């Protein structure tokens, strides 16, 4: 058996979808274990562009079976739409055959979306800039034991009782903010209708994945969503999502022993981006940042918001690869750096007379740090047709080798365009 974990090593949108699609060609099971449809992964195959939010990016590979583990939150309205969207593009999605959903996964319900919106409004200038998908409120209900789960859909009587009980409090909250409230009976009817097609898919995904991990021939790929710097414990709290996004969330979220993972691969952009609010030390609030956003088409897959752009940050990257135990990195969007006269890389931060070479997660002044950079020469040549490391311009090779010399990981994959084929493999 081989088991690989792929995680985002920055603030999300690193190009995980593309890398997972690539690795899924050699996987039998693809397992997502955290987050919900706050994620947005674009995978480009020839003239087709797929936007995945909840369904694992392995769905595009025939023969691979995809699982949403118990750590995922599922919005059934969204899932129905995502399945339909994929089918319209000719992708086979058959619940119970190539898509399975954990009975432990919590449901995102319409009142969670409303709650997300209201809470963001209440935060005012301190807003997080959430995706508005109800993610935080759904996980909040999971922790406070007011959540409803996929398995509940298999017992309509129980589901109806739980929904009525939970919605007493939910409606009180909503009405307090001028909302008319929601009817549990209507919600139950809608849930059961949508769940009809999904019934064969609802099962103990953890058991299936654990059996696969015991089977010598199985190849399992764990798909991380978001990025480590958005992790609820390890990221830039409170400007984070509500889950443990990488190794920390894997055990509970997929119901597997974390030590089954042999290969941990982080995905990182050749520069850095962030959507939503929160500290971002290497952010470029100038024409260079604007250039990266335009050339890199840095607009969110989920919300369409412009992404904030900045230079590659070795302080943050050393932290994320270390905390996740990564051995490898896939570096994406190297093509976007073509045409930059010089490239800056953050090597350390300074704040109030102190130097930080390790990422000071949790430091209240993270938004005030002075960033110290090393400058590297850029290159002019476009890279999108290059498939071999040796064919890259020497300055691009130097950039990769420089990052490798500063990080305890191998840069084993280099992406030079959005298409599935635009990849440089660097075998060990």
Is 332 a binding residue for ligand GDP by CB under 6 A? The answer is yes
Is 22 a binding residue for ligand IMO by CB under 6 A? The answer is no
Closest contact distance (angstroms) between CB of 407 and ligand GDP is 19
Residues 135-164 as x/- pattern, contact with ligand IMO by CB under 6 A: xx----------------------------
Number of residues binding to Mg ion, judged by CB under 5 A? 3
Contact 98, 217 (CB under 8 A): no
Number of residues binding to ligand IMO, judged by CB under 6 A? 22
Bond prior to 238 in cis (omega within 30° of 0): yes
* 174 or 230: CB nearest ligand IMO: 230
Footprint of ligand IMO on 181-240 (CB under 6 A) = 225-227, 230
Stretch that binds ligand GDP, among 5-13, 69-77, 315-323, 394-402 (CB under 6 A): 5-13
CA distances from 380 to 93, 223, 271, 295 (A): 42, 34, 17, 14
**Residue 230, binding choice from ligand IMO, Mg ion, ligand GDP, none, Cβ under 5 to 8 Å by partner class:** ligand IMO
Question: Tokens 């792929």 appear where?
Answer: 6
Closest by CA to 324, choosing from 198, 227, 213, 208, is 227
Residues serving a catalytic function are 13, 41
| Dihedral pair phi/psi, residue 87, rounded to 5° | -60, -40
Is 224 a binding residue for ligand GDP by CB under 6 A? The answer is no
Q: How many angstroms separate the CA atoms of 256 and 32, rounded?
A: 12
Encoded tokens for 242: 């509500």
Is 418 a binding residue for Mg ion by CB under 5 A? The answer is no
Rule CB under 6 A: choose which of 6, 8, 54, 195 binds ligand GDP: 8
Encoded tokens for 393: 């311009």
DSSP E strand boundaries for 166-313: 202-203, 219-223, 263-269, 272-274, 308-310, 312-313
As a three-state string, the secondary structure of 50-75 is EEECCCCHHHHCCCCEEEECCCEEEC
* 132 or 156: CB nearest Mg ion: 132
Pairing of strands 342-351, 354-356: antiparallel
Give me the residue whose beta carbon is nearest to ligand GDP: 415
| Dihedral pair phi/psi, residue 311, rounded to 5° | -75, 165
Rule CB under 6 A: choose which of 3, 4, 24, 40 binds ligand IMO: 40
Is 335 a binding residue for ligand GDP by CB under 6 A? The answer is yes
Rule CB under 6 A: choose which of 4, 57, 98, 131 binds ligand IMO: 131
Is 105 a binding residue for ligand IMO by CB under 6 A? The answer is no
Rule CB under 5 A: choose which of 4, 10, 13, 386 binds Mg ion: 13
Helix (H) or strand (E) holding 17: helix 16-24
Q: Which residues bind Mg ion (CB under 5 A)?
A: 13, 40, 301
Q: Which residues bind ligand GDP (CB under 6 A)?
A: 8, 12-18, 39-42, 44, 301, 332-333, 335-336, 415-418
């Amino acid at each position: 058996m081989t088991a690989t974990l792929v995680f985002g090593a920055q603030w999300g949108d690193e190009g995980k979808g593309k890398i997972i699609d690539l690795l899924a060609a050699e996987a039998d099971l693809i397992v997502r274990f955290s987050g919900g449809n706050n994620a947005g992964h674009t995978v480009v195959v020839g003239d087709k562009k797929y936007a995945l939010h909840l369904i694992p990016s392995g769905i595009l590979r025939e023969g691979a079976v995809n699982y949403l583990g118990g750590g995922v939150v599922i919005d059934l309205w969204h899932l129905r739409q995502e399945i339909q969207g994929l089918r319209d593009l000719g992708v086979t999605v058959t619940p119970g055959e190539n898509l399975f959903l954990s009975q432990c996964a919590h449901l995102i319900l319409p009142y969670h979306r409303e709650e997300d919106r209201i809470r963001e409004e209440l935060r005012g200038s301190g807003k997080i800039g959430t995706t508005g998908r109800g993610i935080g409120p759904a996980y909040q209900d999971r922790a406070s034991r007011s959540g409803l789960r996929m398995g509940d859909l298999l017992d309509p009587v129980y589901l109806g009782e739980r929904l009525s009980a939970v919605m007493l409090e939910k409606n009180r909250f909503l009405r307090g903010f001028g909302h008319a409230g929601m009817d549990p009976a209507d919600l139950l009817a809608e849930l059961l209708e949508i769940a009809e097609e999904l019934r064969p898919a609802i099962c103990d995904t953890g058991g299936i994945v654990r059996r696969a991990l015991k089977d010598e021939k199985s190849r399992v790929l764990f798909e991380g969503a978001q990025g480590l710097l958005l992790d609820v414990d390890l990221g830039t709290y409170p400007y984070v999502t509500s889950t443990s996004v990488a190794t920390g969330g894997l055990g509970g979220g997929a119901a597997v022993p974390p030590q089954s993972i042999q290969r941990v691969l982080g995905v990182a952009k050749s520069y850095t981006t962030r959507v939503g609010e929160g500290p971002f030390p290497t952010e470029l609030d100038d024409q260079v940042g604007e250039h990266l956003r335009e050339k890199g088409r840095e607009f969110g897959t989920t919300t369409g918001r412009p992404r904030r752009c900045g230079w590659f940050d070795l302080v943050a990257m050393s932290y994320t690869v270390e905390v996740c135990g990564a051995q490898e990195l896939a570096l994406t969007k190297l093509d976007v750096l073509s045409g930059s006269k010089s490239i800056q890389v953050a090597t350390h931060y300074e704040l109030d007379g102190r130097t930080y070479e390790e990422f000071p997660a949790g430091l209240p002044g993270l938004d005030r740090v002075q960033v110290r950079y090393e400058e590297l020469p850029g290159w002019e040549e476009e890279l999108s047709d290059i498939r071999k490391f040796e064919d890259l311009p020497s300055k691009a090779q130097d950039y990769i080798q420089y990052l490798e010399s500063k990080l305890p990981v191998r840069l084993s994959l280099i992406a030079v365009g959005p298409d599935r084929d635009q990849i440089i493999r660097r075998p060990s």
